[in-house]
Amino acid sequence: MAEKKAKEKTVALNRKASHEYFLEERFECGIELTGTEIKSVRAGKVQFKDAYISIVHNEAWIKSMHISAYKYGNVFNVDETRDRKLLLHKYEIAKMYQKVKLKGYSLIPTRMYLKNGMAKMEVALAKGKDFYDKRQTEKLRDAKREMEKALKLHH
């Protein structure tokens, strides 16, 4: 019996995340959308610029994520930067809460995508990088780019 492969389409990426943080553990979660928000998500009108995740009363909420108003939505459009509930299992929320409270981790959104027509989000437990770490990461990336360029020239 062949398994159906889930179709995924990335809607938004948080490119700054890997530059600013060490991304350690990732979780997939659903996101509670209302009204015409899903139409804007499908159109790719999502920004993570200052978005972060907080846990309140054993529920995970994403704050400051911007979903643009749907062009044809008129009265059905809602506040673009409202708090939205993330759909996770209780044990996942408990695990995240422990790490955030005890070990100084942050919860940040890394990617939003559509999986079989449903809006999903990838959330990462992350530790902030120091300035030195950011420079180190840049050096490694530049070195890798130089090596690839050199290999291309010799082929």
Q: What is the C-alpha separation between 153 and 155, in angstroms, rounded?
A: 6
Q: In the block, which residue shows the tokens 């890798």?
A: 144
Residue 76: per-residue pLDDT: 66
DSSP state of 70: P
Residue 36: per-residue pLDDT: 85
List domains and CATH numbers for the chain: 8-129 (2.40.280.10)
Residue 1: per-residue pLDDT: 47
End-to-end CA distance of the chain: 43
Residue 114: per-residue pLDDT: 94
Listed as ranges, residues in the chain with pLDDT below 70 are 1-6, 75-76, 155
User: pTM for this structure?
Assistant: 0.78
Distance of CA 12 to the CA centre of its chain: 8
Residue 4: per-residue pLDDT: 56
- Asked if 108 and 65 count as a contact pair (C-beta separation under 8 A), the reply is no
Q: What is the C-alpha separation between 64 and 98, in angstroms, rounded?
A: 23
Helix ranges (DSSP H) in 9-130:
15-20, 37-42, 90-103
